[in-house]
């Protein structure tokens, strides 16, 4: 084959790769955005194995709960998708609204805050080669403070679309209010899009992490949260609540973005004035940007 022919073949091959990457990214975006809408959610958690030598150890009880959840698309860009989750619970005629978790998806993201236990996050900058073609999922608490994040490729094969990652995280709310015998969760997360919605499948390790020592696994846990899509009208109250309160939470996100952009390790106070951050922000005392910035900054430990 002549050099000119090789050049043409090489050019066509590279073009097909670029086209394939473009199609792949479009499929990724479609999968991520398909998690938006109104869902009946069933949360299932069960401790499966324990490894502790403590004869008095008591496994966590199985946890099953249900709710109606509205997932609102709040950022829709080529390289970033942000979805705010809002719980709608109680009497359907007069439901109670709870601002829930948020998930941000960023394409080929390099900057990570990885949980290190005891309300500390380590800042890590990854090389581009490590995240090429990947999406990071950043999960945030109800007050938009950090929770956990990790990076992986979306996989589209045999009619399935899924994303899998393992990363350190704080204890879930159902655990940290009742347990103090471990301080880190190693979360194995799988998000899979289904015909009826999506599934968040988890395989978690409960870890004792102490400085200068190897992590100790005390137990494993299975989580299986099923999101079944229903008519969006059922979540109308939650959607309307977000229209009314979205501007406030945009200011909250803006302050956190400024903190994250410092690109250094982050340690947060558990409480200020004897209250957790969400208890401050969930009141009407914080609606002005300067006040919001001040209360969030008060939770950031100075190093």
Q: pLDDT category, 7, cuts 50, 70, 90?
A: very low
pLDDT tens digits, 43-96:
999 999 999 988 889 999 999 999 999 999 999 999 999 999 999 999 888 999
The domain spans of the chain are: 38-298
pLDDT score, position 93: 87
Query: Rounded distance, CA 126 to CA 142, Å?
Result: 27
In this predicted structure, the answer to whether residue 190 has a pLDDT above a threshold of 50 is yes
In this predicted structure, the answer to whether residue 12 has a pLDDT above a threshold of 70 is no
Query: Rounded distance, CA 106 to CA 92, Å?
Result: 35
Cβ 98 vs Cβ 116: under 8 Å: no
pLDDT score, position 14: 36
pLDDT score, position 221: 97
Q: Which of 201, 164, 165, 167 is nearest to 184 (CA)?
A: 167
Mean pLDDT over each residue of the chain, to the nearest integer: 93
CA-based R_g, the chain, Å: 21
pLDDT tens digits, 121-157:
999 999 999 999 999 999 999 999 999 999 999 999 9
Query: Rounded distance, CA 53 to CA 208, Å?
Result: 13
Number of H helices, E strands in the chain: 6, 14
Residue 215, CA distances (Å) to 79, 121, 176, 182, 183 in order: 35, 16, 18, 10, 10
Q: pLDDT category, 19, cuts 50, 70, 90?
A: very low
pLDDT score, position 20: 55
């Amino acid at each position: 084959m002549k050099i000119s022919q090789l050049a043409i073949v090489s050019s066509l091959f590279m073009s097909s790769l670029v086209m394939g990457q473009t199609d792949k990214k479009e499929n990724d975006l479609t999968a991520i955005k398909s998690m938006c809408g109104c869902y009946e959610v069933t949360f299932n958690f069960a401790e499966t194995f324990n490894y502790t030598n403590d004869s008095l150890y008591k496994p966590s009880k199985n946890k099953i709960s249900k709710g109606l959840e509205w997932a609102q698309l709040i950022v829709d860009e080529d390289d970033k998708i942000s979805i705010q989750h809002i719980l709608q619970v109680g009497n359907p005629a007069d439901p109670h609204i709870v601002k829930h978790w948020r998930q941000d998806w960023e394409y080929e993201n390099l900057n990570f805050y990885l949980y290190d236990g005891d309300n500390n996050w380590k800042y890590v900058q990854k090389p581009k080669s490590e995240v090429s073609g990947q999406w990071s999922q950043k999960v945030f608490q109800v007050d938009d403070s950090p929770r956990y994040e990790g990076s992986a490729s979306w996989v589209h094969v045999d009619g399935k679309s899924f994303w899998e990652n393992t990363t350190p995280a704080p204890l879930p709310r159902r655990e940290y209010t009742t347990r103090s015998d471990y301080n880190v969760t190693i979360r194995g997360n799988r998000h899979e899009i289904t015909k009826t919605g999506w599934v968040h499948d988890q395989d978690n390790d409960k870890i004792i992490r102490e400085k200068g020592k190897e992590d100790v696994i005390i137990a494993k846990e299975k989580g299986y949260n099923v999101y079944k899509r229903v008519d969006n009208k059922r979540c109308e109250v939650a959607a309307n609540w977000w229209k009314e309160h979205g501007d406030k939470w945009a200011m909250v996100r803006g302050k956190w973005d400024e903190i994250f952009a410092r690109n250094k390790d982050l340690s947060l106070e558990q409480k200020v004035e004897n209250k957790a951050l969400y208890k401050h922000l969930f009141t009407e005392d914080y609606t002005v940007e300067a006040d919001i910035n001040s209360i969030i900054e008060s939770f950031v430990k100075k190093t």
